[in-house]
Amino acid sequence: MKKDVSLAIIQSVVDSQKDLIIIFYNDEPILANRTFKEFFSVSSLEQYKSEFGSFVSNFVPHPSYFHADKIGENGSWFDAVLELPEIERVVSMMTPNYEPHAFSVGINKVEDYIIVVFTDITQTLIKRIMIENRANIDAKSGAYARNYFLQIAQSYQDAAVFNEKIMSAVLIQVSKKDGSSIRDDESALKALATRFKNITRQDDMLIRWSDDAFLLIYLVDTVKNAQIMLKKLDTISKGAEIKGIEYDFTLIVQNDGESIKAFIKRVG
């Protein structure tokens, strides 16, 4: 009875975590958390074992990531991963719908038990690649480039679903009071981007959406909280005007079940 109670407590704890967690005993999976089962679309660990076979076969054989071919002769994948520098402990796994995700791998050994934690870093890796290619930033404003956001939009949507939130956006139309375009005024564009960034959180994204518009993307749990950002933007635009610049704000909140493509289409 005590053993059953202990396992139930452990299951409850790991189920509360957003990372994929699986525990092995003598190389055999004995416990997986809810996030792990949701990723592989199974209802139980037993179903996972019957449908997916050897665990290491989940790792996509991509040269940028750890996979079965990188395991030494007669070695275990656990030990092979631990021999790598921490920054290289990355694997790629696909959902049953063939959607690839990248994960950093954390491994802890406790006697004959091995606890493995997979942290989804898909979006982080995409950002890093874009940064290395200098393709993520709009040169004139310093905000994210539109093409960059469109590249990672699905990952951003996945993050929203994973965290049980919805995507929200404020389209910021910017113009000069004399009616001319701001597209070539780099000093004004940079000043605007800096001002808007000052109220954003770590996971928010300010994007140069067009010649005369920015888009602020962020995750919220309710429409009411989405409106808070709109109020903040309105306050800072009135608090200290940038000379000769006018603003117009439009709030767009993702509808229930709305795809990222449909959401972006509504943004315009």
For 111-165, strand residue ranges (E) read: 113-120, 144-145
Find the distance separating the first CA and the last CA of the chain, reported in whole Å: 59
What is the pLDDT averaged over residues 163-176? 89
What is the pLDDT averaged over residues 16-44? 93
Cα distance between residue 172 and residue 15, in whole Å: 40
| Chain centre distance of CA 71 | 29
DSSP state for residue 114 in the 8-state scheme? E
Number of helices and strands in the chain (H, E)? 9, 10
Average of per-residue pLDDT values in the chain: 86
Q: What pLDDT was estimated at residue 135?
A: 62
Quick: pLDDT tens for 120-137.
988 777 666 655 555 678
Quick: pLDDT tens for 207-230.
999 999 999 999 998 889 899 988
Of 177, 32, 185, 46, which Cα lies nearest the Cα of 114?
32
- Read off the pLDDT band of 2 (50, 70, 90): very low
Cα distance between residue 197 and residue 11, in whole Å: 40
Strand pairing category for 20-25 and 113-120? antiparallel
Cβ–Cβ under 8 Å, residues 260 and 156: yes
Q: What pLDDT was estimated at residue 130?
A: 56
Return the SS3 of 183.
coil
pTM of the model: 0.53
Cα distance between residue 76 and residue 74, in whole Å: 7
How many residues can be counted in the chain? 268
Cα distance between residue 192 and residue 190, in whole Å: 5
